[in-house]
Chains A and B, each alone.
Chain A
Amino acid sequence: GEDVEQSLFLSVREGDSSVINCTYTDSSSTYLYWYKQEPGAGLQLLTYIFSNMDMKQDQRLTVLLNKKDKHLSLRIADTQTGDSAIYFCAGSFDSNYQLIWGAGTKLIIKP
């Protein structure tokens, strides 16, 4: 079946850029998503990219998609303490629109 993988932790200094990576196994994805989850909270949609796009930019967020390598990344420019959270990569891989999720990357901000 489909699989989505992410590294579990990323530590960056405040003000630096954060790059969170995700790989997936199924090439038939339609949409790929990044969600943010703060402690004790639900999932907040950050951004998404359609599978026929290579890049999408939205303010401090840049999503890059490499379909050949099945690799998705999320870059957060000028990382702030409020960006501390767990970031989930998810993809819709079949017609039922169910999302397949990575395990999440915990972003830790160092002062």
Chain B
Amino acid sequence: ETGVTQSPTHLIKTRGQQVTLRCSSQSGHNTVSWYQQALGQGPQFIFQYYREEENGRGNFPPRFSGLQFPNYSSELNVNALELDDSALYLCASSSNSGEETQYFGPGTRLLVL
């Protein structure tokens, strides 16, 4: 069974640029959630995708957008990057079958200069 994978592991961008982060869900999982974790803080929920549709969204602006593909992998896109977007971005997959446990990937560390 393959776990959750994310790419890239690290990324450096400058203000105003756009970034795409990728996530492959664990085998058998159809739901992907994205979180932002700033240094020294707990993760903050960005949004969740279930069967290619957005299934819930946290308090993040529209420049944070996402996609889920038929194989349940997912992308997080951030436009017009700001310095405060520097964080660890975590992807989690789950089966949405009533048991909600989310399994996390190793994260992508984004630094915006």
Contact = CB atoms under 8 A, between A and B. Distances in A.
A98 B42 contact: no
A96 B55 contact: yes
B92 to A, nearest CB: 8
A101 B92 CA distance: 14
Contact of A48 (B43, B55, B92, B101): B101
Interface residues of A, number: 24
Contact of B105 (A31, A42, A97, A103): A42
Nearest to B47: A98
B56 interface: yes
Contact of A41 (B31, B33, B106): B106
B45 A99 contact: yes
B7 interface: no
Interface of A: 4, 30-31, 33, 35, 41-45, 48, 88, 90, 92, 94, 96-104
